Amino acid sequence: MNLQEKLKYISSYTSKLLRNKFGRGPESCFAVTADCYLVLHIRGFISPMEEVLLQENQHIQVDHARDVVIKSILSELKGVFQVTLETEVRTFFHDWNFPNNTGVIIAELEDSLLPMEKNGEIDFSLLESEVARISLLVEKPPEETLSFQISPRLFIVKREGILVPIEKALIESGFEKELHFTKDELEKSYLHRYGKFDQIFQREVIDIFVDWNFKNDNSLICFNIK
């Protein structure tokens, strides 16, 4: 298989796996890659049980339940990715936008499958600076910020060194889940409310996905633009 056939296979496999685990598969699951990232962009994926909980404003319960199931899926996806793509998977990130019924699963790979091409009309240094500015408002500026264009619509910003001492203490004390839920709500609200990303991309930002790897003290932000 060539790379596009491999990506199509991974998309199909992921859709079937989600259907088996949740009882309902996504309306679409599309895989794209550039540099050392593979992004599965998923649309139309809320189970009947989740719909009921969301209608009752039980967002934390939905987040927790989905996180548990997705993590069990990732262990299987890791093997499929490594065999299909012939490279190691360093780690996974995932996040969901329930109001838009969209989500992403992002694999950070050991090797690059496709060279990255950046849109020359976008100032990527300005994008990194804006992410660092928003990070400062809610925690502290990252020690390092890197940007990647995965497709014409999907962009990733990776932040290294973002945890403050109180967050590290909470993680060590066993409050990782509570910290994750709190950071998720807080950071997304600031990114949407105070970020100037529409101007930077020169197009409307439809989704902002955020996830953290507390063990490695880093985070990925994925922008989906119109």
CA distances from 119 to 95, 116, 123, 155 (A): 25, 10, 9, 10
Q: What pTM was estimated for this model as a whole?
A: 0.94
Contacts of the segment 128-132: beta carbons below 8 A, 24+ positions apart: 128/157, 130/195, 130/196, 130/197, 130/200, 131/157, 131/159, 131/195, 131/221, 132/159
Give the pLDDT score at 25: 86
Kindly tell me if the per-residue pLDDT of 45 is higher than 90. Answer: no
**In the structure, what pLDDT confidence band is assigned to residue 59 with cuts at 50, 70 and 90?**
confident
Give the pLDDT score at 204: 97
Domain ranges of the chain: 3-109, 124-225
Residues 130-154 have pLDDT tens digits of 999 999 999 999 999 999 999 999 9
Spatial contact of 207 and 192, defined as CB atoms under 8 Å apart: no
Fold classified for 3-109: Threonyl-tRNA Synthetase; Chain A, domain 2 (3.30.980)
Helix segments in the chain, DSSP class H: 3-22, 48-55, 59-85, 124-138, 165-172, 176-194, 197-201
Residues 61-113 have pLDDT tens digits of 888 888 888 988 999 999 999 999 999 999 999 999 988 999 999 999 999 99
Spatial contact of 71 and 190, defined as CB atoms under 8 Å apart: no
Beta partners for residue 224, in sequence order: 154, 207
